[in-house]
Amino acid sequence: MFIAILTYKKPLEEVDRFLQAHRDYLAEHYAAGDFIASGPQTPRVGGVIMIKSDNRALVDSIIAQDPFNINGIADYRIVEFTPTMFVESSLSDILK
């Protein structure tokens, strides 16, 4: 499991120019089963994407496709972790 923490390096006006393309990218990877959850940080200084993978190289290739990355909108910090506790057991099946 990975979490991508995005930090905007451009003004929000520039972020908003690429927001629909970024959302289309997210939708594509939700449909492929790559993403578990995502959303903006509060305050809106970036975003977070929870990625279902056990392969860092694959995560890097997925992030490389993000329009925010391609257009220099955000920096990415990738954190790998192993979920071991869940609010309910059914979540462990989703995250495998």
Taking the CA atoms of 84, 30, 59 and 41 in sequence, report the sign of the dihedral they define.
negative
1-93 falls under which CATH superfamily?
A: Dimeric alpha+beta barrel (3.30.70.1060)
Please write the tens of the pLDDT for every residue from 2-35: 999 999 999 999 999 999 999 999 999 999 999 9
Q: Would you state the structure tokens that stand for residue 77, as one six-digit string?
A: 């910090």
Please write the tens of the pLDDT for every residue from 28-48: 999 999 999 999 999 999 999
Place of tokens 């979490």: 3
pTM for this entry:
0.92
User: Which one is predicted more confidently, 62 or 92?
Assistant: 62
Task: Show the DSSP H helices in the chain as ranges.
Answer: 12-17, 19-31, 56-64, 67-70, 90-95
